[in-house]
Amino acid sequence: MELNTLDIMKLLPHRYPFLLVDKIVKFESGTGIAGVKNVTINEPFFQGHFPDHPIMPGVLILEAMAQVGGVYALLAKEVGEHQVPYFVGIDNAKFRKPVLPGDVLLLELTLLKVRRGIYHFSGKALVNGKLVAEAELKATFADK
């Protein structure tokens, strides 16, 4: 399964400059999902983080992972179309290498469990097959 940006925008409420997923490249119900973020110098956060040494903020890498997790729940049809995702927790976040303009960020999420409406994922962010960030993420959904 592959979804482009327009497909993702039909699922998620996020829009520019906060939509941080360009493509979904893999989806397996009950298992996990993978998405791509193309990191370009045109990103608004590079104006201030940092102008002479631009790196993608770690919190935005985590947000990109969370958005991929939101797409997972919506594709799995486990939540209604009238609901929006809420990021409710981060555990064990680690940042291994900086993400730079021109990098292609592969965001891989493995579903650990769903309990009481809270999705638990193990997430990895990779650039050229190398781990740049990882975290355990929790998300839920609420009515719009």
Provide the sign of the torsion angle of the four alpha carbons 89, 109, 43, 85, taken in this order: negative
Closest residue by Cα to residue 137 from 49, 73, 44: 73
Concerning whether 53 is annotated as a catalytic residue, the answer is no
Tell me the backbone φ, ψ of residue 121, rounded to 5 degrees. Answer: -125, 150
- Which residue type is seen at 96? R
Provide the sign of the torsion angle of the four alpha carbons 35, 89, 45, 55, taken in this order: negative
- Which residue type is seen at 90? I
**Which member of 14, 49, 53, 82 is catalytic?**
49
Closest residue by Cα to residue 138 from 56, 82, 72: 72
Instruction: Kindly list the catalytic residues.
Output: 49
